[in-house]
Amino acid sequence: MIPQATSAAPPRSGPWYAHLYVQVLVAIVAGALIGHFLPKFGADLKPLGDAFIKLVKMVIAPVIFLTIVTGIAGMRDLGKFGRVVLKAFAYFLTFSTLALVLGMVVGNLVQPGAGMNIDPATLHSEKVADYAAKAHETTIVGFLSNIIPTTVTGAFADGDILQVLFFSILFGVSLVLVGDKGRPVVDLLESIAHAFFRLVGILMKAAPIGAFGAFAFTIGKYGISSVINLAALVGTFYATSLIFVLVVLGAVAWFNGFSILKLIRYLKSELLLVLGTSSSESALPSLIDKMERAGCAKPVVGLVVPTGYSFNLDGTNIYMTLAALFIAQATGVHLSLGDQLLLLSVAMLSSKGAAGVTGAGFITLAATLSVVPSVPVAGMALILGVDRFMSECRALTNFIGNAVATIVVSRWEKALDKDALDAALAGHVAPSDAEPLPVAAE
């Protein structure tokens, strides 16, 4: 088992510069400066960010497999497993829908695209053709069929989270059904899990380099100036996401006995990493580890976190309805209440159909607009230039939403160690295999 936090465990000390969140923050600032003042050089640093994300993706599949299998096998109660799944999906559906509604309400109130009066015929629709094509390929039936891997090894080779999740659940259930005969396998997998989380700790030492390269590329390639023209949309999206996190998720956290601000502080290293790389996947293994150390039961963490990465995309859902309304307003398309309800319904389905797809935010938006004919798909060209900046906010909101979901579902299932949670959020957390050791003070 991965060590859990205890109230008596003091936080590890070390010089300020040895902490991962400090290093990542410095790297982000340095990357932004390089990208702004030396844009060509900054854009050329993209391989640093890509390489780090590949390093993390290399271990995501085995970490999910080991966490889920050992968690289910340790549960020894398939009825409890079923309850966890049902409660998790009830939570996902509720708050994903709230995120969609919030984006639509704010879009109607603020109207960030009003007055732009853009003729859709003047837009370069070929720029979004690839995304539209992927959207047409991403049907609900195709999505459900794709959950089943062609081969067991294929799921791991492709790094498909949902396919790995599907096989891991089946294998975990089979270990429960074989009883004591499967105990040696579980013990072996738990030992391997320790090694993998130590590997995650080693890889995290490269996080500042990855964040530096990724952020330098973003600023160098797209430039801060690209945000100015669409500042109303970007600002509205960030403000709406902040409202969702602090007000909606904050209320959920308060009702369940913890502080959203303390949770954000607890996850600051991971959040900065997500900000720097624009990818919530880069912090997935660390989130699994930190949720366990914060007192959430291992089986719940193993089920909620990976499924949440595909089905609990709060930031993406806010973006979808807000961006769709922005395009309609910018192109002078009036959407009636019926049109907006249709848009909301389609968005609820398409957000699940493109789950786990690279560039899911833009692809799901294309899928939604292709079904609502009154809003021109070509209008997506308006926001293509700033989508990279909004993807960072989407990833941050998705990440925080999944952390909250894990704690809440653990509490519902009476599988939450409240003392361990309080200790972790107060900064008193036990050492972890996945956390890189700070440099010793001279």
What's the whole-model pTM score? 0.81
Query: Mean pLDDT over residues 281-302, rounded?
Result: 88
Does residue 416 sit within a domain? yes
User: How many angstroms separate the CA atoms of 61 and 168, rounded?
Assistant: 10
Predicted confidence at residue 166, as pLDDT, reads: 86
Sequence-separated (6 or more) residues with CB below 8 Å from residue 236 = 106, 107, 110, 112, 322
Q: Are 75 and 299 a contacting pair, CB within 8 Å? A: yes
Instruction: Using alpha carbons only, give the angle 164, 170, 172 rounded to the nearest 5 degrees.
Output: 95
Minimum mean pLDDT range among 44-48, 71-75, 320-324: 71-75
d(CA 159, CA 254): 36
Rounded (10°) angle between helices 314-330 and 78-110:
30
Q: How far apart are CA 74 and CA 77, in angstroms?
A: 9
pLDDT at 197: 84
Domain count for the chain, please give it. 1
277: Cβ contacts below 8 Å, ≥ 6 apart = 49, 52, 53, 210, 211, 214
How far does Cα 209 stand from its chain's mean position?
A: 21
Q: Are the C-beta atoms of 10 and 427 separated by less than 8 Å? A: no
Q: Could you tell me if residue 2 is inside a domain?
A: no
pLDDT at 10 over 50: no
203: CATH = 1.10.3860.10
Query: Which of the pair, 130 or 200, is modelled with greater confidence?
Result: 200
Q: Exposure string (b/e) for 361-395, b if CB count within 10 Å is 16 or more? A: bbbbbbbbbeebeebbbbbbbbbbebbbbbbbbbb
How many other CB atoms are there within 10 angstroms of residue 133's CB atom?
12
Q: Tell me if 436 is assigned to some domain.
A: no
57, pLDDT greater than 60 = yes
- What's the mean pLDDT when you consider all of the chain? 81
230 in a structural domain: yes
Q: Is residue 5 part of a domain?
A: no
**Banded model confidence at residue 154, pLDDT cuts 50, 70, 90:** confident
Q: What is the pLDDT of residues 207-265, one digit of tens each?
A: 889 889 888 888 888 777 766 767 888 899 999 999 999 999 999 999 999 999 999 99
| CA 141/CA 40 separation, integer angstroms | 43
- Which residues have a Cβ under 8 Å from the Cβ of 180 and sit 6 or more positions away? none
Which pLDDT tens digit goes with each residue over 388-404? Answer: 778 888 889 999 999 99
Determine the structural domain holding residue 152 and report its residue range. 16-425
**Residues 6 or more apart from 378 whose CB is under 8 A from it?**
120, 123, 125, 128
Predicted pLDDT at 357? 47
Give pLDDT, residue 313. 85
Cα distance between residue 310 and residue 13, in whole Å = 36
Tokens of 386: 């700033």
Distance CA 253, CA 250 (A): 5
Determine the 3-state secondary structure of 416 from DSSP.
strand
Question: How much of the chain, in percent, has pLDDT values that exceed 90?
Answer: 25
Least confident of 140-149, 185-194, 241-250, 332-341: 140-149
Least trusted range by pLDDT, from 314-318, 326-330, 362-366: 362-366
| Model pLDDT, residue 7 | 39
187 lies in a domain?
Answer: yes
* pLDDT tens-place string over residues 168-198: 889 988 988 888 888 899 899 989 988 988 8
What local confidence, expressed as pLDDT, does residue 140 receive?
56
- What is residue 427's predicted lDDT score, i.e. its pLDDT? 81
User: 37: exposed, middle or buried (C-beta count within 10 Å: 0-12, 13-18, 19+)?
Assistant: exposed
In this structure, the dihedral spanned by the alpha carbons of residues 347, 353, 357 and 361, taken in order and rounded to 10 degrees, is 0
Q: Reply yes or no on whether the pLDDT at 76 is more than 60.
A: yes
Q: 236-256: string of b/e by CB count within 10 Å (b at 16+)?
A: bbbebbeebbeebbbebbeeb
Q: What is the mean pLDDT of residues 12-30?
A: 78
| DSSP E strands, 9-86 | none
Would you say residue 264 lies in a domain?
yes
pLDDT average, residue stretch 155-170: 83
Assign residue 148 a region (left: φ > 0; alpha: ψ between -120 and 50; beta: otherwise): beta
Residue 12 has pLDDT above 60, yes or no: no
437 inside domain: no
